[in-house]
Every structure is written in C-alpha cells, then in structure tokens.
Amino acid sequence: MFLIIGIEAIGYIVTIIAVSVILAMIVYPPTKALRSRGLPEVVAVGVVTVVAGFAVLLICYLVFFSFETLIADLPLYQRELTVRLSEILTLLDRYGIETGSLSPSSVNLQGFVGFLSSSAISIADLLLYLFFIAVTTIFMLFEAPRMPERVRKVMKNDEAVESFSRMSRFLVNFVIVRTEVNLIHGFLFGTFLWVMGVHAAVLWGVLTFLLSYIPYIGLVIAALPAIFFAWLQFGIGGAIAVIVVVAILNALVENPIFAHFASRRFEIPALVVVLSVIFWGWALGVAGMIFAVPLTLIVLMVAQSSEDWAWVNTILGVDHLFTGEPALPAETRETDVPPAR
C-alpha cells in the first residue's frame, strides 16, 4: 500500500523513467543493428537518438501547430456550431419536444477551449520534460547491452534466466508492434480526414497514434473530436462517414495486424488490461494510461523473478508468458477445477 501511494506521490519522476524505458525498448533494435554493422556504440546511440528526437519534436510541432490553428479558427467553428444546433432545435420543435431555455448561442466553444488551454502543459514544462526523458533514454541505451549479463549474475538459475529473457523479448516485441500498428492507424485516419477536409485532420491523426496505446477506449476517445468536427462541417452525414471509417480501420488494421503479431502468440486477459489502465491512469495520469500494458508487463517480470510473488502471475493467468506454453482456453481452465464438495 505504501509503495502504491509512493508511486502516485512521485508520479512525475516515475513517468519520466517509465516513458524512457518504453522509448529505449523501441529504439534499441535499430541501435543494435547499427552496432552489428560495425559502428561504435556512441555513434550508433547518437544516430538513433537524433532520429528519434526529430520524430518526437515533429509530433510536438504538429500538435501545437494544429492546436494554434484551432484557436485561430474558433469563430468559424462557433458559427458552424450555431448552425448545427439551430437545425437540431428546429427538428425537436417540429416534433413538439420542449427545449426550454436552450438556444443555438447557448453553447460557447471559447470557454471550453480556454479550459483546455489552462489545463494543458506549457511549452517550457514540456521541453524540460522531454529533456529529462531524452537524457534518461540515452543512458539506458548505453546500459542495455550489459543488462543480460547482470541478470545472469542475479539469477543463478538457468530456468529463471530463460524465463526472464523470454518475457523481455515479448515486452520489446509488444511495444514495437503496438507502435507500428498505431503509426499505420494514425496515418490512415489522418489522411482520410485530410482528404475529407475535416478541420485539424493532422491533429486527430497524431491523437489517434498516441491514444491507440490505451486498450479498448483509446481509439474511441481519439475518434470523438474528429466526429464532432465532421458533424460541424458536413452535418450528420459527415459524422456517420467518420464513424464508418473508424470501424473499418479498426477491423482492417487493429484486429488482423496486431492480433497476428501479438495477441495470437501472447494472450493477456482483458481484466488484467483494464485494471492496468485504471491503476496506471490513477498513478501517472494520461502517460500511465498510454503505457499501461508495457508498465504492467514490467511489473509482472519483476514478480516472476521472485519466488514469493510468482504466484501472482498464475492467478492473473499470465504465467504462460514466462513458460512459453500457450494459454489455456477458458473452457479448459473451468473443467480443470475440481467441483466443490
């Protein structure tokens, strides 16, 4: 309990370390590939750091630029919203439904955007945050090649070392595949919105890329702003078009690709995923929700390495990730339990 409270209390530091670990997992394979081609370790880490830093700064620039464009065009969106609300009120009045004091001008976007602006992180804080993450990630990349030997010294049991190595490979593969799928999803969704002419299409594409890390609800949250602005511009037909595209992309990109590379080989119970999102979201905020599954897998790795806590993974139904055996179907697990006497 004290450990959980401590994580929430030092959430800023824990978030920096957690994000750095995830980023190190993503960029370590290309770093290793460059080192295998004969490049010195410092040069390989430097090249990957520059490329990754440029990608992160590009995402930040797209987000801030798109957000500034939204602020500048706010009067246009307010007029469009007034028109759409007038259509809704006219329709309700036609069917004799009372709307009370609600009027087309009663909803003010300025106040909502002001709330978002006041709650958003400042540029100075963001740059400091990114600086700490970058420095931590760089030093993790330098230490990564030495970690397997250190793990062997700590775990003298060969079976425990193999289990830990298997889980480490799974964790790295999971993060990489999840990132690739998110990139495809965000690019396709943003491109469709741009072709359709929806306001701030690039912003919604980047938002889709980031929030797709959140299981189950991330794609829904990312799609809501795009649906809203499509409704503002094109009416109910535009909103329906975006909803249909979201469903199609989820069916074509999310299910076959991600399931093929990750879930088919490594099944994680849905309850564990949901509880992970809730806990890490409470402890670390949005960053915790985005990286909830990788963070949980790291905790499970630590638990599996301890004889006193390995039973937790068995109870959660994730012990197969360490043994390499396929997870048992739900029907099989139920029939294996003897009836109560």
**Rounded Cα–Cα distance for residues 122 and 129 (Å):** 10
Is residue 239 included in any domain, yes or no? yes
Is residue 96 included in any domain, yes or no? yes
DSSP 319: T
Is residue 213 included in any domain, yes or no? yes
Structure tokens at 204: 């919604």
DSSP 263: I
Extract the residue ranges of the chain whose pLDDT is less than 50.
263-264, 331-341
Instruction: Name the residue among 63, 58, 27 with its Cα closest to residue 45.
Output: 27
DSSP letters, 225-261, are: HHHHHHHHHHHHHHHHHHHHHHHHHIIIIIIIIIIII
Average pLDDT, the chain: 77
Q: Which amino acid, one-letter code, is at 129?
A: Y
Is residue 337 included in any domain, yes or no? no
pLDDT in tens, 207-216: 898 888 887 7
In the three-class reduction of DSSP (H, G, I as helix; E, B as strand; rest coil), residue 181 is classed as: helix
Is residue 220 included in any domain, yes or no? yes
**Rounded Cα–Cα distance for residues 121 and 251 (Å):** 34
pLDDT in tens, 250-272: 877 766 666 555 544 556 777 88
290 lies in which domain range? Answer: 2-326
The count of structural domains within the chain is: 1
**Rounded Cα–Cα distance for residues 240 and 231 (Å):** 8
In the three-class reduction of DSSP (H, G, I as helix; E, B as strand; rest coil), residue 221 is classed as: helix
pLDDT in tens, 223-250: 998 998 898 888 888 899 999 998 888 8
Is residue 181 included in any domain, yes or no? yes
Is residue 34 included in any domain, yes or no? yes
Structure tokens at 210: 């980031």
Is residue 89 included in any domain, yes or no? yes
